[in-house]
Structure 1
């Protein structure tokens, strides 16, 4: 277990040059690429559905990028842990169908409400208390379920564009044999070169422009708070923050939960008037940065968190432009490099989830429910996998009987 309890000090900043590595820098870049090449496109869909202007869309992208960048850098340095933050992807999915129902001012008010609730959950320590009742085997099984589709997409891409995917895979395996630390880096370089030779880059229409953030005065509507604010809070906590904690735990980091939730909640609160629907802990992109691909020494992987945050800041300044840049890459390149970068985390998560014989059944059910993709009440399968695993563990371990026994002994 990697200790993350050291206090903030100037010495922790001074150590950054000594701990710097090219592999951590590249892994941070890959994590940022995955964020912009996939989840950001959902933001575009939501903005289009709500008929937002280009200025509001650019401000939205600026706000979530700056919030993610600053929190990732601050938290990674503070805890010397690769704490990767991002915008709420399930929250953006929710907005695709919900944002057009309310005025933009009411939506901003709902964002503020969600941010306040999340911040209070962090400050109070309630979320940490809840997570203590979830066995590590269940959180790692949930993480494995989330990551599985990314690993599968590597081989799906081989069928779709073998001329690109196969060289990337072969270079990855060869590097794993001779220089495992740079396997993902080499695969990315081979992928970029191959895509260029195959003429698979679509660069037409890319325009570079600096964002001018737009402040929107929030309005508070009970309908928007109930219909948007509460669901946004729930999906962010259940589908982003809970798996995000699971990622850190799976790779051996004992980072305290409450400060992470509080910091991301506060960032969401400050940036909501500029369009940020929610800043939270990342799961998929975090798993890219917390594994051995970033650095063999877990204590030096925090550089990947700093690098990811720095790229967020740079890319965020160009708002909507950056999404068009990444959309110019072949989708197979993004799929393969994301999957390869997550191989290590997927393997370790599966091994950890099944290592405890007494919790193997609970972990298996968590894994299966998570990969099922079911959605109930707008909440994704990661949360329901967590719920199913906890219930299964309680039934099999006899915790329910002990809990009922305690309740019967309590005076009425």
Structure 2
């Protein structure tokens, strides 16, 4: 009996981790892939491969190191794809950018100087870049409340109530509410063409400067700053010494290998990592790996629902789907904004990064996230130069 109870806590924690992780953001993932040109089958393939990759990594590395190593898709990265939109060269160019991002993550695990280079980017600028990417999507609930009140307002109300009383289930609850309002609307909810099992669709990558600068580099920076580094911090906080370089190498290679099938980025989990690594998973730290391995196995199973999930996305009004995605990311936006302006040093540069990124401008075929980071770094450098120039001389 005690052995059953001993297994019950980490198994249930793994179940919650997988269900919450999948239901809270698969809409963002599918919307991101569709925004950069993926058709229905390509988006379905991407969701499936992401689930298989992050589930497989969690199972293999969890069993190998006996640590709760949770992996996830990059939700901020998916928001970046929505912001970037269709690139010159179409979806193949986006696939080429996914491949490059994955290789950069793997290279970071192999070559320490690259990691130090990313660490040298001022923290306020990295979080301001993330906030600028998220803002347009987080405005979707506001627009939907005005343009689609009958559909959007019930979804927003459910999300708000669950945020107050059961925060963990707020976004899954909003997703359920979305399905309900779609079923009850006069047109109903048509799932025609939804297969019971998803299929894989491969796309040959193409390499265009605009997609490399507008997707690959910002995706790499955001994933390192908003996913991998916080994921490492969560594990360290709970007393683990995770194999960070191995995790980067594994997730980077998995991304690069799955890029042709739409897997845009796999990384260490940050938000859901605490569900498997914290004391709620098990009082004994040495037993919590069971939770992450369970979540990994369930992610693979949930990947089999990619066909139905994609059909839901196609059947719903795009603005309503963006509303669910925006609600899911409001907390992340708030955290990013707070971190971006928390310190006086670099605050102006962070604001410049945020404004340029959120503007959505495109120049030379390169999207606003790249220009936001460039503008912020330039402003930050000017600020440093001013500080150095006015520093009193010492004898």
Question: Same fold, TM exceeding 0.5?
Answer: yes
Q: Provide the C-alpha distance between the structure 2 equivalents of 1:234 and 1:23, rounded to a whole number of angstroms.
A: 33
2:250 is matched with which residue?
A: 263
Deviation by residue 1:377-407 (Cα, 9 ceiling, x = unmatched): 44432232223222222221238969xxxxx
* 1:158 positional shift: 0.4
| Aligned equivalent of 1:84 | 72
User: For 1:233-382, what aligned pairs fall within 5 Å after superposition?
Assistant: 234-248=213-227, 254=233, 258-271=245-258, 275-276=260-261, 279-281=264-266, 289=271, 313-314=300-301, 316-317=303-304, 322-382=309-369
Aligned length: 364
Which residues of 2 match residues 11-410 of structure 1 at below 5 A? 16-17=10-11, 19-20=13-14, 22=16, 25-36=19-30, 38-42=31-35, 45=37, 63=49, 66-67=52-53, 69-71=55-57, 80=68, 83-85=71-73, 97-98=88-89, 116=103, 119-199=106-186, 201-208=188-195, 210=197, 228=207, 234-248=213-227, 254=233, 258-271=245-258, 275-276=260-261, 279-281=264-266, 289=271, 313-314=300-301, 316-317=303-304, 322-398=309-385
Is the CA contact 1:63–1:271 (under 8 Å) kept in the aligned structure 2? yes
Q: Check the 8 A contact 1:136/1:249 in 2, yes or no.
A: no
Give per-residue Cα distances to partners, 1:45-64, cap 9 Å, x unaligned.
4569xxxxx7x997677555
- Structure 1 pair 277/163, CA: closer, same or farther in 2 (3 Å)? closer
Number of the residue aligned with 2:4:
none
Whole-Å separation in 2 of the counterparts to 1:268 and 1:250: 17
Structure 2 CA distance for aligned equivalents of residues 57 and 128 of structure 1: 31
CA distance in 1, matches of 2:43, 2:373: 34
Residue range with higher mean Cα deviation, 227-236 or 148-157: 227-236
User: Normalised by the size of structure 1, how large is the TM-score?
Assistant: 0.67
- Tell which deviates more after alignment, 311-320 or 327-336: 311-320
Q: 1:263 to 1:97 in 2, by over 3 A?
A: same
TM-score by length of 2: 0.70
Q: Which runs of 5+ in 1 are unaligned?
A: 1-12, 49-53, 219-223, 403-412
Cα distance in structure 2, aligned partners of 1:297 and 1:193: 34
**Does structure 2 conserve the Cα–Cα contact (< 8 Å) formed by 1:158 and 1:165?**
yes
What's the C-alpha RMSD, in Å, of the aligned pairs? Answer: 4.8
Is contact 2:23-2:172 (8 Å) kept? no
Answer whether contact 1:245 1:281 (CA < 8 A) is retained.
Answer: no
Is contact 1:24-1:304 (8 Å) kept? no
The whole-number CA distance in structure 2 between the counterparts of 1:276 and 1:121 is 23
Gaps in structure 2 of 5+ consecutive residues: 1-6, 235-242, 282-287, 390-395
Secondary structure in 2 matching 1:148: helix
C-alpha distance in 2 between matches for 1:390 and 1:305: 38
Range that drifts further, 79-88 or 298-307: 298-307
